[in-house]
Every structure is written in C-alpha cells, then in structure tokens.
A and B are shown apart, each in its own frame.
Chain A
Amino acid sequence: KAGVTQTPRYLIKTRGQQVTLSCSPISGHRSVSWYQQTPGQGLQFLFEYFSETQRNKGNFPGRFSGRQFSNSRSEMNVSTLELGDSALYLCASSSIPSGSSYNEQFFGPGTRLTVL
C-alpha cells in the first residue's frame, strides 16, 4: 500500500506570493490533517478534513486555507506569504477522524517551504 505523498517536496517563494501544497492520503483514508513544523514551535495543527468537510482548525490566520476533494486528496493554500511561513508542512492521513482514540495518523514526508 502506497504511503502518504506530498508534492512538491521543496518550494521557494518570495514574500507576498501565494502557494498551494498537495497531499494524497493512503488509499481508503478519508481524514487528512495538516501541520506546520518549525524548530521553535514543533508541530502545530493547521486543520483537518474528513469527507471533504473541515472538522477542526488550529490557531492560524485566514491566509492559511485548505480543501479536500471527493477522492480524499487535499490541498493547502497560503496567500500573501510572510518570512515566518518558512517551515516544513506535513500532512497526515487516517481512516477515521484524528480526534478518535487509538487512531494512528500516517504522515507524509512533508513539503519544505522557504519564503525569501
């Protein structure tokens, strides 16, 4: 079974631009969560989608948005990029919503975003 894939793996953008990241979950998984990983903050939850609906959202500004398609693939968009948005963006998929107990999330390798 193929794992979680994320594209692109690396991205360099300049301030003010926007960016779209893509995540393909494990086949059969309907839940996709997005995280921002930085050295100083660790893993910060962005949002979770389940069956095309956003179930939960972290404390990030409205510049961060996402969506999920009927095939469970998900995209994350960041508009008006700031230097502080430089981070590793991880997505994780699971068969059931992430808040369910005993549920394992499977992470992708991440997209390394650098904002210049």
Chain B
Amino acid sequence: DVQMTQSPSYLAASPGESVSISCKASKSISNNLAWYQEKPGKANKLLIHSGSTLQSGTPSRFSGSGSGTDFTLTIRSLESEDFAVYYCQQYNEYPWTFGGGTKLELK
C-alpha cells in the first residue's frame, strides 16, 4: 500500500498568516492527490484534486503543489474559517490511502 505521511500533525497560526502542510507518498503517485478539509459538525470538503486543481468553490487562498512523492497544501492569509483538520489522499493505486491529518489551530 502507498503510505501517506503528513507533517506537521499540529500547526498553530494566526489569522492573516500563511501556512504550508506537507504530504509525502511512499512511492510516486504522479499528481493523483487530493486535499480535504474536516470541520466539526460538517461534512468533509474536497479542496483540491490532481495535486493542484482547486475544486469549484474552494477559495483562491488555497493552493496545492507537487508531483511524484512530495506535495504541499498552502493557505495564504488565513481566515477564521480555515482552522480545521486537513487530509491528503492518494488515488493513484488501490487501496486509496489518506495521510494522518494536520490539525490547524488558532494561535
């Protein structure tokens, strides 16, 4: 199975700051990577697919980059609604696997 390793596990930041979350695959997954946002009491939200393509409705302050084994989710100018847990997922091969998550907390 492709192991997905996210770092950091926890990240504290303030509104207006920019943050980056790393996701590393144990083998090349081309650009077959998605990012999701998890918030309490809400359904998980697809933010980005194909490594860097914003899903319709995702604010432009979110961006994704990378290919192969190394990927990054960047959020510029954090807003209060961005404090959540973020997961990456590879869909290059079965079984599809997720990273362990990064909790973005308010500093």
Bound together: no
Give residues in A with beta carbon < 8 Å to B: none
Give residues in B with beta carbon < 8 Å to A: none
